[in-house]
Structure 1
Amino acid sequence: MTVAPQRRLALLGGGFSTDADGLLDDWVLEQVPVPRPKVCFVPTASGDAPGYVEQFLAAYGARACEPGVLRLFRRELDDEALRTFVLSQDVVHVGGGNTANLLAVWRAHGVDRLLREAFDRGTLLCGISAGANCWAEGSHTDSFGPLTHLPDGLGLLPGSVCPHYDSEPGRRSSYRAAVASRALPAGWAVEDGVGALFTDGRLTASVTRTPGASLYRVELGEDGGPTEEAVPCRLLT
């Protein structure tokens, strides 16, 4: 009997672009049980910023993996080669930036469909900020300037996501208000330094490189207001 692969994704509150210790990057690679996993960085949300790509290649080039980059603003792959490349990856790591722009560009190139296919085949999807927002049904974002809700995403993770929950002024209150008003469904708020792994839609691991940092489950309470529950996180060392 054929066993369907687990569908896994990780929300990251840090990594190579923000942290010198590399603990979250090492944790991501630990989730892939192959000797030298292929790791594809997708910098769409930053407009394929060259400096961001260089950071990734420096960080992951020093690790036991095969790093690659998917650039879409100067795309070089035809549709068949693009599909082959995406589906050959063990990890797809999406960078931060503008969530709304990321989703629009992906859909224009058909990358949204390829990522769904890769997800169903067992590729680990992960990312920080916009790269965390994109996997859910909706997210909390500054894609349009002021903080607001974006009821749009790939829907691979049920509910919504809010990044930078502890580090950006207004994030906590604005996200809680969006859940309370039903502008966004219940979801997950990620503090900086945290990593959260979901397997087949369920939270299966939560870690942090920052003592005291947490993952939160934010829901609509019985009284009509938002409730917030901290999830224990294992400290990475």
Structure 2
Amino acid sequence: MTAIAERRLALLGGGFSTDEDDLLDGWVLGQVGTPRPRVCFVPTASGDAPAYIEQFLAAYASRSCEPSVLQLFRRNLDDDALRTFLLSQDVIYVGGGNTANLLAVWRAHGVDQVLREAFDRGVLLCGISAGANCWAEGSHTDSFGPLTHLADGLGLLPGSVCPHYDGEPGRRASYRAAVAAGALPAGWAVEDGVGALFTDGVLTEAVTRTPGAVLYRVEPGGGGSGGGGVEERAVPCRLLTGSSRRPAPQA
């Protein structure tokens, strides 16, 4: 009988695009049981920004992996080739940008369905900011300008996600208000520097590259930390150490 693959995804509060070290990137690659994992970067949320793509390739070229990029704004793969390409990956890493635009473009190209299939086959899905929001049922976003809730997502992770929980003014209060009012379901708030791994929808590991940074579980309720109609529970994170820093880019 064929074993059923574990369905895994990771929410990232950092990585190659924001950090000088490679601690969270190393943690992601460490989840894959192969010496040279195939890692595909999907920069749709940024409009396939060339500088973002170059940053990914520069960060991962020196690692023990096979990096690649899926561009949809200059797409050159037909449907069959696109599906084959994504299903051949070990890790699919989605970049930040505009969550609403990301979801719309994926659906126009059928990428949302392929990602569901990849998830079911055991490909590790992960991402930062919009690339974390997209996996849940709903998220907290600035896709429309001001901070607001977006009751839309792929629904591969039950509930909602809020990135940059401690890193951007207004994020925490706005997300808590959305959960308290029922505009978003209970979910996970990710502080910058944190990584959270979910297996079959259940949190299985929480790590951080930043001492003191944590993951929060935020649910409707009246008596949690800070009140405000929500219960907010901090999830302790294991501190990542030991990875060397990359040289800073030359000015």
Q: Same fold (TM over 0.5)?
A: yes
Counterpart Cα distance in 1 of 2:192 and 2:139: 16
TM-score, L = length of structure 2: 0.93
| Correspondence for 1:147 | 147
| 1:234 equivalenced with 2:248 (yes/no) | no
| Correspondence for 2:12 | 12
Deviations 1:146-186 (A, max 9, x none): 00000000000000000000010000000000000000000
| Correspondence for 1:171 | 171
Amino acid at match of 2:140: H
| Correspondence for 2:104 | 104
Counterpart Cα distance in 2 of 1:74 and 1:63: 26
Counterpart Cα distance in 2 of 1:78 and 1:167: 39
Amino acid at match of 1:232: P
Deviation at 1:2, TM superposition (A): 2.0
SS of equivalent to 2:68: strand
Across the aligned residues of Structure 1 and Structure 2, the Cα RMSD in angstroms comes to: 0.8
Once the two structures are superposed, the pairs formed by residues 85-234 of structure 1 within 5 Å of their partners are 85-221=85-221, 225-234=229-238
Deviation at 1:3, TM superposition (A): 1.6
Deviations 1:17-60 (A, max 9, x none): 00011100000000000010000000000000000000000111
Amino acid at match of 1:158: P
* 2:13 and 2:190 in contact (8 A); partners too: yes
Counterpart Cα distance in 1 of 2:3 and 2:88: 19
SS of equivalent to 2:183: coil
Once the two structures are superposed, the pairs formed by residues 47-62 of structure 1 within 5 Å of their partners are 47-62=47-62
Structure 1 unmatched runs, 5+? none
Amino acid at match of 2:199: T
SS of equivalent to 2:112: helix
Structure 2 unmatched runs, 5+? 242-251
Counterpart Cα distance in 1 of 2:178 and 2:201: 22
Count of aligned pairs between the two proteins = 237
SS of equivalent to 2:203: strand
SS of equivalent to 1:71: coil
TM-score, L = length of structure 1: 0.99
Runs of 4+ in 1 over 4 A off after TM superposition: none
Counterpart Cα distance in 2 of 1:148 and 1:62: 38
Deviation at 1:227, TM superposition (A): 1.1
* 2:222 and 2:231 in contact (8 A); partners too: no
